[in-house]
Amino acid sequence: MPDITKKYTNGEVTIVWKPAVCIHSTICWKAATDLPQVFNPFIKPWIKAETATTEKLIEQIKKCPSGALSFYINNEMVNGQL
Ligand code: SF4
């Protein structure tokens, strides 16, 4: 699979998804009973980051067992620079 990286943001946090790394555990959508509006692989885009708070998104991303989902906070300092 090509090395594709997709990004989805709610303006505050950006979710990074690497499909080649995803092991299809379904944890992010089947187990995310409180975030069905965010993760839905049956519609496009499959992640709607703008429909949840940053805290809830990060909580769910941390449960991804493969590392396919990661995140960064928008406008966060990188190497001491904005
Ligand atoms: S939790 Fe991670 S590994 Fe599992 S389906 Fe979602 S993105 Fe893929």
Distance CA 72, CA 13 (A): 6
Segment 13-54, tens digit of pLDDT? 999 999 999 999 999 999 877 899 999 999 999 999 999 999
Distances (CA, A) of 22 to 42, 65, 67: 16, 9, 7
Atom of ligand 1 nearest to the CA of 29: 6
Give pTM, 2 decimals. 0.88
Domain contains 82: no
φ and ψ at residue 20, rounded to 5 degrees: -70, -20
Ligand 1 midpoint to CA 81 (Å): 32
Does residue 54 lie within any of the structural domains? yes
Evaluate if residue 2 carries a pLDDT over 90: no
- Determine the structural domain holding residue 54 and report its residue range: 6-73
Q: Which residues of 20-30 are buried (b: 16+ CB within 10 A; e: fewer)?
A: eebeeeebbbe
Determine the pLDDT at residue 79.
60
* Contact present, 75 and 82 (Cβ < 8 Å): yes
Q: Is residue 66 part of a domain?
A: yes
Residue 50, pLDDT score: 98
List pocket residues of ligand 1, CB cut-off 6 Å.
22-28, 64-66, 68-69
